[in-house]
Amino acid sequence: YARDTPSVRMSLRQRFYSTTHDPSAGVTSYINEVLSIVRQLNAIGHKPADDEVTDKILIGLDPSFSAIRSILSLREPIPRVDEITAALQEYENQEKVIIGDVGES
């Protein structure tokens, strides 16, 4: 990983905040990208707080995931990243089945 310099830190933070979910690439790809940036920030001593990471994942979701985003954001306690990942993957798979069923009708 890179050294901790202001330009590296700001570049990683900019990527962290600007990364968004592209439904055509899948939710797993999006989450992996966010977590990769988190690991890089951690390596230079600037790891985001856990709730910041979960908020980022939910905020960056495509609008088509608004229903599951609302459900997850209202849960107490705040779900962990692995719980959010599992819920989003399940939601994405259910949506694929529904769309597939509609397409076959």
The answer on pLDDT for 99 being more than 70 is no
In the block, tokens 């397409």 appear at 103
CA Rg value for the chain:
16
Tell whether pTM > 0.85. yes
Summarised one tens digit per residue, pLDDT across range 51-74 is: 999 999 999 999 999 999 999 999
Domain ranges of the chain: 6-104
Task: Name the amino acid, one letter, at 38.
Answer: V
**Phi, psi values for residue 48, rounded to 5°:** -65, 155
